[in-house]
Structures are given as C-alpha cells and as structure tokens.
Structure 1
Amino acid sequence: MTDHVSLVRRSLAGTDEFDRRVRDQGGRLADALAEGAFGNDAATLGLELEVYALDRTGESPTLAPVPDAVYEGPADKELGLHNAELNAAPSRFDDGGIAAQAEEVAADLAATRERARDHGLEIVLDAMPAVAPEPGTHEYLDDVEIRGTDGDPNDAAAPTDRRIVVPGGGPDDPVLVARNMRKDPRYGALDNVAVRRAGGEIEFSVPGATAGYRTILFESLATSIQPHVQVPDPSEFPRYHNLAVRTLGPLLALSTNSPFLPGDCYGDGVDPERLVDDTHHELRIAAFEQSMNQGCRKVRVPDDLGSPADAVEHVVADETFAPFLREWIEDEDDVEEEGQKGGDPTSAAWEFDYKRGTFWRWVRGVAGGDPVDGACDERSLRIEYRPLPTQPTVRDIVGLQVLTAGLLRGLVAADHPLENLPHEAAEESFYAAVEDGLEADLAWVTADGERTDDSETIFAEVFEFARRGLDEQGVDEETQDRYLDPIEARWEAGVTPSVWKKQRVRDHLDDGDDLEAALAEMQQKYVELSRERESFADWI
C-alpha cells in the first residue's frame, strides 16, 4: 500500500496524463450533452449540509474533533477533524420531494447528534464557530508535521521552532501533514499545493485579525449548505446557471451567518466595539477564497455559460490543482473520502470528476448524478448553489433550499430579464452582501427590465418569483408558507443570523464582558436557541 506522504508527493510532482484524461473524458461528456443524453423528465432537488462539533462539558464551549464512531451513522467526514457533512438524497422537485428532503435532513441530524452526545459533543448548525479549540485556534489550525524523505518524520513540535518550508514533489522535498485535517491524500495534496504556491505560509486576513498558516485548514472553520437543482432540459441549463449567478447577492444577504472568528483570533489591540461594526457578515467567503486562491482565482464567481457544454469545458480549462490518477488510489485502504475531492471509483470519467471537485465556483454546473424514479437517471445536469452558510435550524436550511430552487425556476418560467444584469454588477452585488448583509448595495433587473438597487423592490421580486417557481412545480401554498415565511420575516425585521450575532456581542460588551467572553456568551445562546426553536424567525 502506498502511504499518505508518497501519494501527496506524487500528486505534487504533477502529471500530463491527468490533463490528457480530463480532456478526453470532458470531450466525451460534451459530445453526450450535444446529443441530448442528459435530458430528463422532471426536476429534482438535493442538499449538502456541513456542521461542526463543540465540547460543552467544560466551563465554556470549545471546538472539538469528532470521533470516528460518530461517522458510523449518516454523517460523512470533511476537511477538519471537527467537521461533518450530511447529504439528502435527491428527490423530485415537488411537494412530496421537499417533504422528503426535510425529513431526511432532520432524521440524519438527529442520529448524528445522538452519536455525538455519547462522546460529550454537540453538533451545531452554524456557519462558523466563535469559540476556540482546546489548544487555541492558531495552534490547532497551524499544527503540522513536516515530513522529509519517506519514513523520516520531523515533527518540529517545539513552539519556538515553527519552521516554514515549501512542499514539493521531489523525493527529498518536504511534505506537510496537518494533524487536525482528515488523512486523505487528496486533501493532503490540495493542502500542500496551496502552501507551495504561497511560498510556505498562507496569509488569512479579515477585519480585526491577520495570521499566517502552514496549511489551508483555516478553511475548515467555514461550514455551508449547498442546494442542488437538477435541470431536466439541457438547453435551459445555461439560463439557470447565469440567473443563479445574478441571485447570489440577494440570497446571501438573507442568509449571512459568519461574522466572527473564534475569540482568540483577535489581538489585544483590537477595539471590540469597532470590530463588531467593521467585521463582514460572511467571513466564510474570505476563508475559502484566501485558502485556495494561491497564484490563481480558483474560488470565485463563475463565468457565464453560453451552452450546456460550457459546464464541462470550463472545468477542462480550469487550472489543474493537485492531480490524481484513478489507479493511484482506487485500491488504497488509507483513502477515506470519495466525495468532493475525488470521484466515483466506477466512473468512466474519474479524472474529470476529480478535477470538477476542485472547480471551486460559487455556482457550479455538474454533469452526472444519482437517478430518481420518474424524474431522471444518472445522466443529469444540476446547479450546485454553493455560497450559502449553514443555518440555525432544519426549517431554515430547507427554507433556503426551497427559496433558491423556487426562485431559479420562477425566473426561468417567467422569462425574467434578470440575465441582462451585467456579470460585473452581479459579482459586485455578491461581495457587497458578503460585507454588509441586508444593508448591502445590491444589483437587480426588474421584471419590467429596469435596473435597480432598491432593496424593497429586489426582495419583493425574490419572494414573488420564488413562489411563482414553486407554483410551477406543484408545491402547495401551505408548504410554500412553511418554508418561505421564516426567510421573508428576516427581511421584514432586518435581522439575519449575522445581525443577531453582532447585536448579542454588542450587548455583552455593554455589560462589561471582554471580546472573547462576549463571543462565548453569544455562541452559547446561539446553540441553545438553535436546538429549542423551530426557525430563526422565532428568535426575532
């Protein structure tokens, strides 16, 4: 069996064969798209949900690793030892399918929480922890082992001996192994190539905090939900994709939930009140972009699609990052993950699937999936809507899934002119929502074809056309109200989870707490309300 470090080093050395296979496999997929092989009978929905674990047995909560026994249930492993992922199997995009999504998410979450509780852990529906792991956030995220030649580990464990090295693919080059990252060689290769491109250390900088890390693991602080919307008619896929890009700003503004890092990330010189005012509503976006955008813009708003085949061709043309060949790992016992970082080992397009897993765009088009009776087979086209943070409750999570899918369907069904919004304006709108949430300067084109930045008009159309799309899919009014009303209540009250978090921290600071204590108090209350209330709207 090839060991972890050898596989990472092999990937870092690069391979022309990987790019050749990706081109060939992508060409076959593009040809199949052109021939109509990806058409299906009905739309479907799917969902990915990321969570993290807290140890709440002590005086204050701490970010904590998840034991392997917890993953014997429905949860999958993710990048950090403290992370877990739940996936709802695709179902028809209709009333019954929405109910199936909600039931599966709720059941899987309950089962995972029960397993975690046996180990004194709390599984939290949140987008970023505001409390540190036991050794401290920087110590935890930067804890790496430096390997030289095979079998010659150099722990460099002394706190005063924090060595900066540049990983490489040569037999004598160092390789970094992040101790609090899952030991999957594909994670390891992605980690090492990003660190190598950064010259040995990656800088992460957000309002109030700047630090350098010898690993991408700071990305694991960010957790998200990803609604999937499968499009039955391939000819309509570019329109769905391009409209999805233009909805990024408003939908993110309604969902912001990660304004704070763990409290020990902020130095003594930070003014707490000013930090609360200045911090962005979504630090997740910076965490992902800054971890992987080393020497290129891998993580970003995608370019528009002109044809269905562009969903494949953009992946082929994307810069190769830490390539793997199928035969390197298909028989390896030390490979834990088969999801985002790799592909189905039975796939005839394994290398293409792997590269698509590193095509990090905030909206991603994907060819291929799981069959759903009466709707689609495994040859389908779906939108992966990737910028949304994990929400406080299952009802909120499904609410954003329903809002996203309904809005895209409604805009297409109404032949809405939003696609006329310039791409640059859509991108600016997205990053404005990252920084300012509901108060962002957003961009939109109305149903009458008029350009607007008026938030009242924008959000009125968001909910109007989401309901239009749900009507088109046969979703009854009761289901629409159940899932859309709590999200709409956020706009009416001007309060999203990030706004609530900021206000709670301000309140604790006013009561005399220091910043770290104020963040811990906020985190405790968030966890309690997340477990006790059916939706975030019940908090406000």
Structure 2
Amino acid sequence: MGKDLATLVFAPEARVTYRQKVRRCLDVFAQMLHQGVFADSDGMTGLEIELNLIDRNARPAMRNAEVLTRIDDPRFQTELGRFNLELNTPPRSITGSGLADYERDLLDGLRRAATRADCGIVMIGMLPTLSPADLVLENLSANERYRQLNDEMAGARGEQFDLDIQGVERLRSASASIAPEAACTSVQCHLQVPPDQFDRYWNASQAVAGVQVAVGANSPFLHGRRLWAETRIALFQQATDTRPEELRAQGVRPRVWFGERWITSVTDLFDENVRFFAPLLPILDEEDPIEVRRTGGVPHLGELRLHNGTVYRWNRPVYDVMDGRPHLRVENRVLPSGPTVADLLANAAFYFGLVRRLAEDERPIWTRLPFAAAQDNFHAGAVKGIEATAYWPGRGEIPVAELVRSVLLPLAYEGLDRYGVEPAARDRLLGIIDTRCRLGRNGATWQTEAVRLAERRGSSRSAALHEMLQRYTDLHRTNEPVHTWPTT
C-alpha cells in the first residue's frame, strides 16, 4: 500500500484481473508450503503500537505530519487519523533478555519522541476527549492510501456508517466516512510460527482472545459515553462495516471478523479471504509469482498480502519475506494500546507464553472448546472487561480473573520457559497480570473510577474526562503498572 494511489481509478475489469492474480498467488503459496521453503525461527516476535497526540488541554492534536518531521525516527509512522502515530519495533526473539530489551527500547523511543514532539503522546485504547467533529474525513492523515481506502469502503457501503453501541450507556451516531475508526488505537503482537503448526497457534490465539481483551481492556469511553470496557472492539467492527443492511441480513461476512471455525492450515484463512471478500484496493503488482518460483526465487505475493490486509481479522495470518526467506506470523490484534509500556509488555508476555503452551498441548483446547463459545468469550470480555465471565473446558462458566490466576497464568509461565525467557523478566511481567486480576484493576476500571470520582466532586462528564486523561497521561509516563495508580 505504499504506492501513490492519487491517480488510481479501479475499473471493473481490474477487479477481475486482481482476483485472478490473488488466486494465482494463493496457488504459489500452497506450493511453497508443500516444498518446505519457509523459515522456522523460535521466539521471533514484533510489536506495532498505535499512539494518540494530544494538546495541552487533553484534546486530540491534528499534527502527525509535523510531529513525524520533528521526531525524525523511521520507527514512527502515520496512522489513519491526523492525531495518530504508529511505533514499529524491530523484530526480535524473546529468548533470554528479549522482553527486557523491548521495554528499554520502547521507553527510550517514546521519551525521545515526547521530547521532540511539542505535544503529548499517549498510549490509550481510545481518546476519551474525542468528539464527533474530530472524526471526519478532513482529519484523515495526509496519505492518499487512506483516502482511497475510505472511498472504496464508503462506496461498497453505499450509505452512512451507523454506530449503535449499547454499554453502560448508549451511543448512536453516523458517519459518511471511515474516520471514526481512527479512534481505535491498539497494539499488534506478531509471533513467527512454524508453517506446519500455524493452525495450532492461530486456534490457540482465537481460544484466548476473549481473556486477553478482558484483562487488557482500556477503552471505556467514546464521545462522552461510558460504553464497553473495550469499546474499541465494537467501534472498529461498526465503523468499517461495508455491508448495507440487506447484505447483513443475507449473512455476508463483515470485514472486521472473528471468524467462524477452527482451522487445519493457514491456507484455510487465505482461501476464505478470496471466497468471502471482494477486493477493496485491486492494485496489480508487476511480479509473476509463478515465474519467480520457477527460477528459484521467493515471490513477494503482493496481491495476496494486500488483500489480506483489507480483511481485519482479530488474529490475522501474515506472509512475509525477510533476508530472502519467507515466513509466517500470527498477528494478534485484540489488545488496546497502553496504559504503560510495562502493562503493554505484560499483555504481550501473557499472550506469547500462553499460546505457545496451548499450541503444543497434546489435547488441544480447540478440540474441547466450541468455536461459538470462544466468540462469546470475546464479546463478553470486550463488554465487561476484567469483570467478565468466560466458558472454559473443565471449569464451565468462570470469572475471567479466576480463570487467569488458576489456569492460564501457570500455562503462560511454562510457555515462556519453553521460549527460554529470562526468569526475572518472566516473573515481573506475568506478575503484573496476576496482580491486575487479583485486584480487578486494569486500564478500563481505572478510567471509569477516576471519572466517577471527578463527577462525584461536581465535575461535568466532559470536565471529568479531560481531568482523567491529563492524570492518565502523567501517570503513564512513570511506567508503573496501571493497577498501582491512585484514582484520587
């Protein structure tokens, strides 16, 4: 998607040709899997962290182009909204000191950026001070790919994008563009996995997604309303839903998708992408993947990758090439940004360790957990957060915090040990998850309690949200885990 899209107009025949090219890429991909040419690296990971810019009044600062110039660091890039940035970490193994190295590098990068930015940079799942007037087409980043994506999605929708989120309070709204999606700021955890075990890691990731979002919830407010503990989930689903009402009634799949079944191969997911989802950006690459393979090369598979990037699975398959060798990753997309680097890495360590242990289990969890139950757990975790109840085989309906402490954390410890993670880093990060669950305090509960106390002191909701965000911003710079933060 780095091409200049400003002059592109997609003709109907281009979409047909593109679809055919995606299928050709998929055939070559399946051939490569059969030939065993993929890299198999243990413990290689990556993190993408989405950030928000705020001014001195805790309002969104529409300045990402200027801020990127000031920061002058290639790790930082634009994101959808002009008040968003993304920080991409170099891939690294979590073996040994990898997690501790992540923390040091992230803290250093964020501090340097904050010093140069001339505005606040905050990690939070959703800016509570956003207003509908901020989430408009004019505030998309000055990158033509975002405008083109908006035009294609709005054209496919054919009408306004409706928002109707029922939580503790209710929000109804509508937008002519996908700009409201910019309110959703997340962390993507990338985990490189052996090709012949991809299905096991993806299934394990799906099985624990509900627990992840419950424990890490950090997005309770949107447009002045208290909604879900992780409102980002609902907003992302609705703000990018290209289906008009008639197609939803017909059962057409949404582009933001949990999925509908366990898989037996990574090709199941790419095949679903081709069968269920129309091309959004049918940009043709000059590469002929069949010819590249015939001559012994490694194809980029540009059309397959671009199409995959416009299907927003909560756990997405990723094909990539590094140092001349292809590899596969699970991109785990369920977690919100923040509250601190320590919290963020605790969430990542819990995920990496837990899925490793579950993927290698002789009796896999997905053979005992109905897929519909995993999806229900995901919804419950987003709505209720750390107070949610989940279904787990052998335990039935159980509070998420109890499930984590009694069942899942011991598995995460074992998984990190199998990666060879330094015990001190393992104990510190998983200890954050344990204490968070013991106290029932995560980013969402801290935010709601801080706002409740401010309102009790006589502040309006708007004033309480601004006050809360200013305190949140100060506290998140300390890197002390959110469960230790005072609310008064």
TM range (shorter): 0.7 to 0.9
Q: Is the 8 A contact 2:342 2:479 kept in 1?
A: no
One-letter identity of the residue aligned with 2:104: E
1:285 paired to 2:233: yes
Task: Report the 3-state secondary structure (helix = DSSP H, G, I; strand = E; otherwise coil) of the residue aligned with 2:305.
Answer: helix
> CA offsets per residue over residues 22-55 of structure 1, 9 Å max, x none?
1101110111112222241423111110001000
CA drift of 1:94 comes to: 0.7
Identical residues among aligned pairs (%): 28
Counterparts of 1:419-458 in structure 2, within 5 Å, are 419=366, 420-446=368-394, 451-455=396-400, 456-458=402-404
Distance in 2 of aligned mates of 1:192 and 1:492: 46
Q: Is the 8 A contact 2:53 2:64 kept in 1?
A: no
> CA offsets per residue over residues 463-487 of structure 1, 9 Å max, x none?
1100000111111321111211112
Alpha-carbon RMSD across the aligned residues, in angstroms, is 2.3
Change (3 A) 1:103 1:317: farther
One-letter identity of the residue aligned with 1:320: A
Task: Report the 3-state secondary structure (helix = DSSP H, G, I; strand = E; otherwise coil) of the residue aligned with 2:256.
Answer: coil
Distance in 2 of aligned mates of 1:13 and 1:203: 31
Task: Report the 3-state secondary structure (helix = DSSP H, G, I; strand = E; otherwise coil) of the residue aligned with 2:322.
Answer: coil
One-letter identity of the residue aligned with 1:407: L
Distance in 2 of aligned mates of 1:300 and 1:283: 16
Match of residue 329 from structure 2: 382
CA drift of 1:489 comes to: 1.1
1:65 paired to 2:62: yes
One-letter identity of the residue aligned with 2:426: Q
**5+ unaligned residues in a row in structure 2: which ranges?**
244-252, 287-297
Distance in 1 of aligned mates of 2:6 and 2:462: 38
Change (3 A) 1:11 1:248: farther
Match of residue 185 from structure 1: 144
Q: Is the 8 A contact 1:486 1:536 kept in 2?
A: no
Task: Report the 3-state secondary structure (helix = DSSP H, G, I; strand = E; otherwise coil) of the residue aligned with 1:368.
Answer: strand
Distance in 2 of aligned mates of 1:115 and 1:200: 41
1:539 paired to 2:485: yes
Displacement over 4 Å in runs of 4+: 2-5, 11-14
Change (3 A) 1:416 1:494: farther
Distance in 2 of aligned mates of 1:205 and 1:452: 28
Q: Structure 1-normalised TM-score?
A: 0.79
Change (3 A) 1:199 1:112: same
Counterparts of 1:17-166 in structure 2, within 5 Å, are 17-56=17-56, 60-71=57-68, 72-73=72-73, 74-117=75-118, 121-132=119-130, 137-142=131-136
Match of residue 249 from structure 2: none
Match of residue 299 from structure 1: 256
Match of residue 291 from structure 2: none
Counterparts of 1:239-318 in structure 2, within 5 Å, are 239-263=200-224, 276=226, 279-295=227-243, 296-302=253-259, 303-318=261-276
Q: Structure 2-normalised TM-score?
A: 0.87
Greater CA drift, 505-514 or 412-421? 412-421
Q: 1:203 aligns with which of 153, 157, 162?
A: 162
> CA offsets per residue over residues 50-107 of structure 1, 9 Å max, x none?
0010001xxx321011342432323101111110001111112312322332233222
Distance in 1 of aligned mates of 2:452 and 2:237: 28
Task: Report the 3-state secondary structure (helix = DSSP H, G, I; strand = E; otherwise coil) of the residue aligned with 1:387.
Answer: strand
Match of residue 306 from structure 2: 354
Counterparts of 1:338-487 in structure 2, within 5 Å, are 348-371=300-323, 378-415=325-362, 417-419=364-366, 420-446=368-394, 451-455=396-400, 456-487=402-433
Distance in 1 of aligned mates of 2:399 and 2:4: 56
Distance in 2 of aligned mates of 1:246 and 1:61: 37
One-letter identity of the residue aligned with 1:48: E
Task: Report the 3-state secondary structure (helix = DSSP H, G, I; strand = E; otherwise coil) of the residue aligned with 1:293.
Answer: coil
Task: Report the 3-state secondary structure (helix = DSSP H, G, I; strand = E; otherwise coil) of the residue aligned with 2:335.
Answer: coil
Distance in 2 of aligned mates of 1:387 and 1:407: 15
> CA offsets per residue over residues 493-515 of structure 1, 9 Å max, x none?
01111011111111111111111
One-letter identity of the residue aligned with 1:61: A
1:489 paired to 2:435: yes
> CA offsets per residue over residues 142-191 of structure 1, 9 Å max, x none?
3xxxxxxxxxxxxxxxxxxxxxxxxxxxxxxxxxxx22112333322321
Aligned residues: 454
Distance in 2 of aligned mates of 1:106 and 1:433: 29
Counterparts of 1:207-222 in structure 2, within 5 Å, are 207=166, 208-222=170-184
Distance in 2 of aligned mates of 1:309 and 1:533: 40
One-letter identity of the residue aligned with 1:199: G
One-letter identity of the residue aligned with 2:65: D
CA drift of 1:11 comes to: 6.8
Distance in 2 of aligned mates of 1:353 and 1:227: 18
Distance in 2 of aligned mates of 1:281 and 1:526: 16
> CA offsets per residue over residues 255-305 of structure 1, 9 Å max, x none?
000000143xx5xxxxxxxxx4xx210111112111222214110213422
One-letter identity of the residue aligned with 1:181: L
Change (3 A) 1:184 1:321: farther
Match of residue 508 from structure 1: 454
